[in-house]
Amino acid sequence: WDPRLPEPPFKGSFDGVQMHAHHYRENTDFRDKNVLIVGIGNSAMDIAVEASFVARRTFLSSRRGAYVLPKYLFGRPLDQVGVNALTPVLPFAFRRSILTAMYRIGVGKIEDYGLPVPDHKLGEAHPTISADFLNRIAHGEMTWKPNIAGLEGDKVRFEDGSVERIDVIVYCTGYKVSFPFFDEKFLSAPDNDLPLFRRVFRPGIDNLAFIGLLQPLGAIMPLAEAQGRWVASYLRGEYHLPSLRDMEADIRRERARMFKRYVASKRHTMQVDFDNYLYALRKELKAGAARARAAGFTLPVRPVAQELEAAAA
């Protein structure tokens, strides 16, 4: 809900329309115009594809390359390709080698589509998924450009020295993680970073849980559903959290692993692997159930009704 624009802003001034992807609704406003999409994530791909059907020319500008994955590979949804019961326990390097081979067979070389070679390996950045982007750019319906060097009225200069006349710029540059309902001194996420135990619990705050505040390599809804069941078990007293010290140690391990693997970016502060996350959550639920049993299934948070009764008394 809180759009993030390029920081620092690009040099110069622009005479045309500038907007964030957050405010994009339909492509009719792009008809017969030169449109520049800034970014190379999922929103950038989707908007670029829609713009390419009505715009005079469509450009896509990014600082780095990305692996663009199709939604289906070998006739199956992408997040189901190669997944089985052993996936969470296989070394990541081994899984990446298989995924890279599949990518080369199913997609080919990304540079053959006119896109730059990524400066990272597959799996070291959140992938960009699009069913139509590679087809549209391969047919010349859009053009990739490097990062913007400056804005010059109705023109945009790029870092390779090229200049294009542009009518509309759409910034697909992500969002700030912010909580307008919390006092900033109580809880905030500077640089989109909010350390949480298994991406749900904030150590030391026993009556607050986050659902869906993570970015998986895969679908988010199954993980949010699993988190919801976990929180429900916690509120019923059927699951107890580890000690504060153990939670903080677990957070440090997970963050070290995440920051070692992924490209340094505000986009990768809440990254998880789909299967590994569910596997770890199931193990934690079992361990927490044993802690709850040993403690006599006491409620970790006092129900509101009891609080009101106590206050009335």
pLDDT value of position 224: 97
Find the DSSP H helices in the chain: 42-52, 92-106, 133-138, 221-235, 244-261, 274-294, 304-312
Paired tokens of 82: 């190669």
CATH 3.50.50.60 given to domain 12-70+107-171 = yes
- Beta carbons within 10 angstroms of residue 247's beta carbon: 19
Question: Which whole number is the average pLDDT over 17-30?
Answer: 97
pTM confidence score: 0.86
- Beta carbons within 10 angstroms of residue 175's beta carbon: 16
Q: Which among 196, 215, 210, 200 has a CA at the least distance from the CA of 255?
A: 196
pLDDT value of position 106: 84
* Least confident window among 52-56, 155-159, 188-192, 304-308: 304-308
- 3-state DSSP assignment of residue 150: strand
pLDDT tens-place string over residues 190-241: 888 999 999 999 999 999 999 999 998 778 999 999 999 999 999 999 999 9
pLDDT value of position 93: 81
pLDDT value of position 110: 92
At residue 213's C-alpha, the angle toward residues 212 and 214, to 5°, is: 95
* Least confident window among 70-79, 108-117, 150-159, 184-193: 70-79
How many angstroms separate the CA atoms of 134 and 107, rounded? Answer: 9
pLDDT value of position 123: 82
pLDDT value of position 303: 72
How many angstroms separate the CA atoms of 22 and 198, rounded? Answer: 28
pLDDT above 70 covers a percentage of the chain that reads 94
- 3-state DSSP assignment of residue 197: strand
Q: What is the band of 103 on the pLDDT scale with cuts at 50, 70, 90? A: confident
pLDDT value of position 267: 77
pLDDT tens-place string over residues 35-78: 999 999 999 999 999 999 999 999 999 998 999 988 887 777 77
Paired tokens of 281: 């959550």
How many angstroms separate the CA atoms of 271 and 99, rounded? Answer: 18
Question: What is the average pLDDT score of the chain?
Answer: 90
Every domain of the chain and the residues it spans: 12-70+107-171, 190-305
